[in-house]
Amino acid sequence: MVDYRIPVIAGVPRQLARAWLALGVAALIGSGLLAVLLVLSRTPGMQHVFPLRDFFRSALVVHVDLSVLIWFMAFAGVLWSLAGDGRFAALGRFGFWLAALGTTVLTVSPFFPDAQPLLNNYIPVLQQPVFFAGLIIAGIGFVLTLVRALLTIRPQKVGADGTAVMRLGALLAAVAGCFAFGGFVVSWFYAPAREGQAYYEAVFWGGGHALQFQHALLLAVAWFWLASELGKAPRVTPRNAGILFLIAALPLLAVPIIYVGWDVGSAWHMAYFARLMEWGHPLMTPLMLFAAMSLWQVRGSATPAKSAFLASFFLFTVGGLLAYMIKGVNVVIPAHYHGSIVGVTLAFMGLAYVLLPQLGFGPANGKMARWQPYVYGGGQLIHVLGLAWSGGYGVQRKVAGAEQILTTLPQKIGMGMMGAGGLIAVIGGVMFVLVCLKAMRQRSTAP
């Protein structure tokens, strides 16, 4: 049976992977603390006890940036470090410390004066110098990490080697990341002169869409890895798996074409990137089907890896299906991306459990580790279904408290589900952090 895993190499690759995993867990801690206040500010009945309407938007900005941008890029750093070799170690360390410094500045930025939140898509911002300083510093750190990934992940002949396929998937994800951050830079300079949210919507629109391909490719890498860890590696030859990864990455070729063909921020520029998401991501379906067949074959005792694999696949599928139910600007949109994002997060959580002892930490075992993906995933499922239900009754997105205008019983039921599911998901997130912190306090016997 083909083994779709990347061996953990002692030295620089493992050292950098340890550091990136620690940063990712730290980002989730900060995000989780903010999530409690976010959920309470939108839950019927509680919104009057916690009058957080003004704080809601600032907290939402930092919550999203920590839980999506920083966590996803940090775990990408884990995989790129393991897939690469030991060269350019100084570049890798410098990139990590810049990302860590930028993350710290981002986290404290809401406590500085004049934090004006702008809830644009992909990377919401606080229109404030401290926030932008943190974002730019972290961005430079991630770019250096991407450059190192391109320099150290050596393309190999796939042949009969599953490890080569995993390295190819990681390399293609790094290429997607470069397209994304390149898009951010180009958009920053060429976005039309608009005010506030409209400007940053244009700045992050193209690169944000490209960044989703990075996450999707690394999700497939994580699924194949988890399947192999469970003894049921996907039944596809490495050659064919490599071709499927290339097909999944093929839509990225449209990114520079859209930038060259249509002005940043124009209606056509925005529309074609939306179509890129709609038409491009289905090319990942073959990889999903092979992962699904592996998941179907998994039997035996429960493990954290199995729990995370199952919950990840289900949530990601639900999120994908909800994308085709979006009509208008309502909370069906966050229902879609919460499902998809949580699917990626759960896969990364499961792979983190697998990697902890291999990175020199203690093992992630026990009932808490096994149940954590179900608690987190189950809470998020209730959260997502509540949003989808409410969206069908016209509840608008990106509002809180009385601004939600919940006038009908179905609207209140849906948002009540959202609140209850969100609080359960917060508990699941805390469980993940506790499992990781407990393991990180120990030392494993791995070489």
pLDDT digits (tens, 9 = 90+) for 60-94: 888 889 989 999 999 999 999 999 999 999 999 99
> For the ranges 33-42, 68-77, 162-171, 289-298, which has the lowest average pLDDT?
33-42
State mean pLDDT over 152-177: 90
| pLDDT above 90: percentage of residues in the chain | 64
pLDDT at 394: 52
How many C-beta neighbours within 10 Å does residue 94 have?
A: 16
- Measured distance CA(294)–CA(423) in Å, rounded: 32
134-151 core/surface letters (b: 16 or more CB in 10 A; e: else): bbebbbbbbbbbbbbbee
Q: What is the CA radius of gyration of the chain?
A: 21
pLDDT, tens digit (0-9, with 9 covering 90-100), for 281-333: 899 999 999 999 998 888 777 899 999 999 999 999 988 887 766 665 556 67
Strands 125-127 and 116-118: antiparallel
Contact 152, 84 (CB under 8 A): yes
Label residue 399 by pLDDT band (50, 70, 90).
very low
What pLDDT is recorded for position 329? 57
3-state secondary structure of 330: coil
Instruction: Name which of 187-201, 347-361, 418-432 the model is least confident about.
Output: 418-432
Q: Which pLDDT belongs to residue 403?
A: 44
DSSP structure string for 121-167: SSS-EEESHHHHHHHHHHHHHHHHHHHHHHHHS-----TT-HHHHHH
Give the mean pLDDT of 122-133: 93
pLDDT band for position 142 (cuts 50, 70, 90): very high
Domain limits of the chain? 300-447
pLDDT at residue 322, rounded to an integer: 78
pLDDT, position 404: 46
CATH code for 300-447? 1.20.120
Select from 164, 143, 146 the least CA-distant residue to 155.
164
Report the alpha-carbon distance of residue 79 to residue 65 in Å, rounded: 20
